Amino acid sequence: MTLPRVVLVTGTGTGVGKTVVTAAIAARARAAGRSVAVVKPVQTGGSGAEPTDVAEVCRLAAPASAVELVRLPEPLAPRAAARRAGVRLPPLSGHARRIVDLAAGHDLVLVEGAGGLLVRLDEDGGTLADLGRLLLAAQTPVGVLVVVAAGLGTLNHAELTVEALRRRGLSVLGLVIGAWPAEPGIAEQENLGDLPLLIGVPLLGVLPDGAARLSPDAFTRAAGEGLAPLLGGDRH
């Protein structure tokens, strides 16, 4: 698959593996000689001992550029975190301009959302989907990758997310399972076939649970194996 210049990485919720999938795409694209930028429009929970999403991507994939546009200390939804911090979230239009500028200087820009697709990212209620529409209006090629869980509940969550994207005129590249268990049960095994069949978009990859604990070299190899359908055209 040939990826568009900008890929929005969203998920069916929090904790499904958006960051590890973003890092995996960045690592493989970088290994193929492509210049990669990673953008986190809003990072919450950025004051504790745990690394931020961008820091984790940098550790695993070392992209050419990595940018947090907004960082808020408490691990809450962006508007709640901003309210408690006594600040106002900037409008998505400014984020879109930064991403367009990055796209002009990089082969691939990965934009990782916060939580699920319709989490509010600015004071006007703008979402990652709205950011995608702003990028389209700026004539920037953009597609959306949806990261999903492996087990029960994922079919409904995935279908709702893909339906919302389609209603907004955004191109859905496909689905990626962000954490495949070492011992999958019946639900996980059945979902491998049901996800693309019922949702109507391809399943483009499966990353093993715990992939983020690998060394960067081992992570890049695991990314190549897990995302082969997505990045086949990017591999040497």
What is residue 106's predicted lDDT score, i.e. its pLDDT? Answer: 97
Determine which one of 40, 79, 95, 106 is catalytic: 40
Alpha carbons 184 and 202: distance in angstroms, whole number: 20
Structure token pair of residue 42: 């809003």
For 37-91, where are the alpha helices, taking DSSP H only?
Answer: 53-61, 78-85
What is residue 28's predicted lDDT score, i.e. its pLDDT? Answer: 94
Alpha carbons 163 and 173: distance in angstroms, whole number: 13
Nearest to 200 by CA among 232, 165, 150, 152: 165
Catalytic, 40? Answer: yes
Q: What is the pTM of this model?
A: 0.94
Alpha carbons 127 and 123: distance in angstroms, whole number: 10
Determine if residue 153 is left, alpha or beta; phi over 0 gives left, psi from -120 to 50 gives alpha, anything else beta: left
Alpha carbons 160 and 55: distance in angstroms, whole number: 30
The strand pairing partners of 143, in sequence order, are: 7
What is residue 15's predicted lDDT score, i.e. its pLDDT? Answer: 92
Q: What distances in angstroms separate CA 160 from CA 60, 118, 171, one per listed residue?
A: 31, 11, 15
Query: For residue 142, what is the enclosing H or E element?
Result: strand 142-148
Structure token pair of residue 45: 């929970």
Tell me which of 3.40.50.300, 3.40.50.2300, 3.65.10.10, 1.10.10.10 is the CATH number of domain 6-234.
3.40.50.300
pLDDT per residue of the chain (236 residues) written in tens, 0 to 9: 789 999 999 999 999 999 999 999 999 999 999 999 999 999 999 766 678 999 999 999 999 999 999 999 999 999 999 999 999 999 999 999 999 999 999 999 999 999 999 999 999 999 999 999 999 999 999 999 999 999 999 999 999 999 999 999 999 999 999 999 999 999 999 999 999 999 999 999 999 999 999 999 999 999 999 998 776 644 33
